[in-house]
């Protein structure tokens, strides 16, 4: 109960709920569009999705206007298409930065885990493996790296959730900018999943990746 009170008092939490509702409508609409009998419900879902999207865009517009008014940003003309700038390109740039941070963190953890593993007995130093072909040794090395990656992600839930959330979010700006094509069902699923993961990090702060 205390976590929910703390959650509902945050503006970011309310925005995440609206975002989850918006993409839930997208996902439900994609499922209902397969049948012509659901045209009335589908129309209402589309209207609700449009209202939720409009409210979130207005909030984002205000944040971007405040940000670009800072001296560190170049001046933007009044007739500049700000909506396209903030809702697609800025979002994509932020996701690329976040994913780069996640990959860097994973690389550091993998190097640390490999260093720890080398202190013990490494399977790759087995004399029997020296007689195997290069392809077999490569396959073994790939399996070991994959197991190590899964172990690192399992032992670091904040990093895993942040990586998963950013990957899901990446589909949205790529679709808006026309860099990739995906179905409304995929778009709704990715948006809803990333919103739920964001809500989890707000409800449980220890799941949020620390900079």
The pLDDT value given to residue 145 = 87
**165 Cβ partners below 8 Å, 6+ apart?**
193, 194, 197, 198
Looking up tokens 């959730």, which residue turns up? Answer: 161
Instruction: State the Cα–Cα distance between residues 152 and 146, nearest whole angstrom.
Output: 10
Can you give the three-state secondary structure of the chain, one letter per residue?
CHHHHHHHCCHHHHHHHHHHHHHHHHHHHHHHCCCHHHHHHHHHHHHHHHHHHHHHHHHHHHHHHHHHCCCCCCCCCCCCCHHHHHHHHHHHHHHHHHHHHHHHHHHHHHHHHHHHHHHCCCHHHCHHHHCCCHHHHHHHHHHHHHHHHHHHHHHCHHHHHHHHHHHHHHHHHHHHCCCCCCCHHHHHHHHHHHHHHHHHHHHCHHHCCCC
| Domain ranges within the chain, ordered by starting residue | 2-207
Task: For residues 211 and 199, give the distance between their C-alpha atoms in angstroms, rounded to a whole number.
Answer: 19
Interval 21-62: pLDDT, tens: 999 999 998 888 877 777 888 888 888 888 888 777 666 555
pLDDT at 140 over 60: yes
Q: What is the model's pLDDT at position 126?
A: 55
CA 131, 135, 136, 139 torsion: positive or negative?
positive
CA distance 56 to 28: 19
CA distance 82 to 79: 8
Report yes or no: 97 and 79 within 8 Å, Cβ to Cβ.
no
Cβ–Cβ < 8 Å for 137, 187: no
First to last CA, the chain: 28
Provide CB contacts within 8 A for 32, sequence distance 6+.
Answer: 38, 41, 42, 45
pLDDT tens profile 60-103: 555 555 555 545 445 545 454 555 555 678 888 999 999 999 99
pLDDT tens per residue across span 148-190: 999 999 999 999 999 999 999 999 989 888 888 888 899 999 9
Read off the pTM.
0.75
What would the two tokens of residue 194 be? 């990333």
């Amino acid at each position: 109960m205390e976590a929910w009170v703390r959650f509902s008092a945050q503006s970011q939490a309310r925005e995440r709920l609206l975002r989850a509702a918006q993409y839930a409508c997208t996902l439900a609409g994609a499922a209902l569009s397969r049948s012509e009998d659901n045209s009335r419900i589908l129309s209402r879902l589309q209207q609700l999705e449009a209202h939720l999207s409009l409210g979130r865009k207005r909030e984002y517009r205000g944040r971007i206007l405040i940000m670009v008014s800072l001296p560190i940003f170049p001046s933007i003309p009044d007739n500049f298409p700000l909506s396209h700038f903030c809702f697609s390109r800025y979002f994509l740039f932020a996701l690329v930065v976040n994913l780069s941070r996640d990959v860097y963190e994973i690389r550091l953890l993998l190097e640390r885990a490999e260093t720890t593993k080398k202190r013990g007995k490494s399977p790759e130093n087995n004399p029997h493996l020296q007689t195997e072909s290069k392809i077999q040794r490569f396959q073994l090395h790939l399996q070991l790296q994959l197991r190590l990656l899964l172990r690192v992600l399992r032992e670091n839930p904040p990093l895993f959730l942040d990586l998963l959330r950013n990957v899901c979010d990446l589909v949205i700006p790529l679709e808006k900018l026309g860099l990739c094509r995906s179905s409304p069902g995929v778009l709704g699923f990715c948006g809803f999943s990333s919103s739920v993961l964001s809500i989890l990090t707000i409800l449980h702060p220890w799941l949020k990746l620390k900079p």
